[in-house]
Amino acid sequence: MSHESTVPGELGDPTVRAAEVPEPGAVTIVVPTFNESGNIRELLHRITESVPGRLPCEVVFVDDSADDTPEVISRAAQDCPFPVTVLHREEPAGGLGGAVVEGMKAAASDWIVVMDADLQHPPSLVPELVTTGERTGAGLVVASRYIEGGSRAGLAGGYRIAVSRGATWLTKSLFPRRLHGISDPMSGFFAIRRSAVTAEVLQPLGYKILLELAVRSRPREVTEVPFVFQDRFAGESKSTAREGLRFLRHLVGLRTASPVARMVAFGLIGASGFVPNLAGLWALTALGLHYLPAEILANQLGVAWNFLLIEHLLFRERRRHRHWGDRAGRFALLANADLVLRIPLIALLVGTSGMSVLPATALALVTTFVLRFVGTEALVYLPRRGRGAAGRTARRHM
């Protein structure tokens, strides 16, 4: 659940909602915040100095804070010559990326500029981002640290610089076509036409919303402008090891969005299950257990390993359709049925088709693998019939 307030004007006054004052060619500046109270007043001051004189604007803060950031925004916005909206989320679904998507849905202007609250993204560049988009006809304008005139000077320390460069290299390697023409896919500072945003297809996780937009709903025309990454004005960086892990999970989810890519990843995860399987078999037989029951028990370790990886890497966004116990039980049944089906299938291929054992075994492995992948998607992770659309509608109106 969330609540919305709009300032200037009395807090919560529906007559001054930013969404009701659209202006052609205007810009909505979307700022996700998490405990950024020390930066708000200076941020709004710099926006006031840089933006309204050149193009009409509104500011939408989407706040996940546990401190007094919403109250600070309300007080600071009284002096602003433009509408300021505060959307406070009690449940920060999707992290910073989810907050940006909420802000985009609330935007009323032709252009949306996404930027951080910590002033590492200079507000003075907002008019240039929009002007460049209008001049070139681009749907997305990225503020890049990695083209001529740009700099990552505000990244503190060699470790953060190395992580940023490594993440940039990894994402461009995984999505060479989608990220063509984007030198800085890790940038959190960009302008996008509201007409180019397809919020329904976005599945944000963590703080790299530009990557999500570029991969899932990239506009046809993209351009860049250079910017110098500034020092943080106040507070502490929100980049943590946990956010890094969420970013890696997000990368896997984006890369495996197509059925073929998901099948390949499913096979790789299945192959990795041999490690706990063999380790368990060795431990159980070393304890004196007969190899047949040891094989059965050890196989369950591989099944559990595969289930955990598939849950968190391949089907994260589909887990809500069933209770985890239901999903685990169905997955285990399919995984063990694979063993039961494979041996009769090999016997059938050898006995009726005259195939030798090795090619028959290889064909049986491929067949049962494909059946297990299709079964996992259809029986474990697809929405229950008649509940998917209704459930989504109910959640949207909560």
**198 shares its domain with 274:** no
Whether a cis peptide bond, with omega within 30° of 0, leads into 185 is: no
Residue 229 lies in a domain: yes
Please list the residues that pair with 61 across neighbouring strands. 31, 86
Statement to judge: residues 230 and 275 lie in one domain: no
> Is 288 in the same domain as 186?
no
**Mean pLDDT computed over 164-171:** 76
Neighbours of 12 (CB within 10 A): 14
Q: Are residues 148 and 15 in the same domain?
A: yes
Q: Which of 126-140, 192-206, 361-375 has the lowest mean pLDDT?
A: 192-206
In this structure, the answer to whether residues 338 and 391 fall within a common structural domain is: yes
Task: Tell me the pLDDT band of 258, cut-offs 50, 70 and 90.
Answer: low
- pLDDT reading at 12 higher than 60: no
- In whole angstroms, give the CA distance from residue 104 to residue 113: 9
Residue 251 lies in a domain: no
d(CA 118, CA 340): 58
CB atoms within 10 A of CB 350: 16
CA distance 141 to 331: 44
pLDDT band of 384, cuts 50, 70, 90: low
Q: Which range among 31-40, 175-184, 386-395 has the greatest average pLDDT?
A: 31-40
* C-alpha triplet 7, 92, 324: angle, nearest 5°: 155
17-52 pLDDT tens trace? 333 434 445 899 999 998 888 899 999 999 999 998
Under the phi-then-psi rule, with left for phi > 0, alpha for psi from -120 to 50, and beta for the rest, what region is 359? alpha
Average of pLDDT values for 251-266?
A: 71
H or E element, residue 59: strand 57-63
Could you tell me if residue 378 is inside a domain? yes
Identify the band that residue 250 occupies on the pLDDT scale cut at 50, 70 and 90.
Answer: low
Identify whether the C-beta of residue 44 lies closer than 8 Å to the C-beta of residue 57.
Answer: no
Question: Would 249 be classed as within a structural domain?
Answer: no
Q: Give per-residue pLDDT as tens, 261-307.
A: 777 778 888 888 878 878 888 888 888 888 778 877 887 888 899 88
DSSP three-state, residue 190: strand
| Domain carrying residue 298 | 259-396
Decide if 293 is inside a domain.
yes
50 and 121 part of one domain: yes
Last residue of a domain, one of 188, 221, 236: 236
Whether 277 and 223 share a structural domain: no
Kindly tell me if the per-residue pLDDT of 198 is higher than 90. no
Residue 168 and residue 32 share a domain: yes
Whole-Å CA distances, 99 to 72, 86, 96, 205, 354:
18, 12, 5, 10, 61
- Residue 262 has what pLDDT? 74
How many domains, in total, are found in the chain? 2
Token pair belonging to 226 = 């250079």
E-only strand ranges, 177-269: 190-193, 222-226
CB 78 within 8 A of CB 5: no
Assess contact for 247 and 168: CB atoms under 8 A: no
In a domain, 357, yes or no: yes
pLDDT at residue 158 in the model: 61
What is the number of helices (H) and of strands (E) in the chain?
Answer: 13, 8
Mean pLDDT computed over every residue of the chain: 78
Indicate whether this model's pTM tops 0.75: no
Distance in Å from the first CA to the final CA of the chain: 7
Is there a contact between 39 and 123 (Cβ–Cβ < 8 Å)? no
Does residue 199 carry a pLDDT above 80? no
DSSP state of 154: T
CB within 8 Å of 219: residues ≥ 6 apart: 138, 139, 140, 192, 193, 196
Environment class of 94 (CB within 10 Å of its CB; exposed 0-12, middle 13-18, buried 19+) = buried
* CATH assignment at residue 33: 3.90.550.10
In a domain, residue 245? The reply is no
Average pLDDT over residues 322-335: 84
Q: Is the pLDDT of residue 115 over 80?
A: yes
pLDDT higher at 219 or 384: 219
Q: Give the pLDDT confidence score for residue 189 in this predicted structure.
A: 93
Q: Is residue 253 part of a domain?
A: no
Helix (H, G, I), strand (E, B) or coil at 203: coil
Q: How far apart are CA 331 and CA 315, in angstroms?
A: 12
- Distance of alpha carbon 143 from its chain centroid, rounded? 20
- Look at residue 44 in the predicted model and tell me its pLDDT: 95
pLDDT at position 323 is 81
Angle between helices 241-255 and 259-272 (to 10 degrees): 120
Please report which confidence band the pLDDT of residue 389 belongs to, taking 50, 70 and 90 as the band edges. Answer: very low
Answer yes or no: do 301 and 216 share one domain: no
The last residue of a domain, from among 176, 203, 236 = 236
Strand partners for 223: 141
Q: Which two tokens stand for residue 116?
A: 């951080």
| Contacts of 13 by beta carbon, 8 Å cutoff, 6+ apart | 6
Under the banding of pLDDT at 50, 70 and 90, the label for residue 75 is very high
Confidence of residue 143 (pLDDT cuts 50, 70, 90): very high
Same domain, 231 and 265: no
Indicate whether 181 and 321 sit together in one domain: no
Residue 393: its pLDDT value, please? 33
110 & 197 share domain: yes
Longest dimension (CA), the chain: 85
pLDDT exceeds 60 at position 13: no
Pick from 69-83, 251-265, 290-304, 366-380: least confident: 251-265
3-state secondary structure of 268: helix
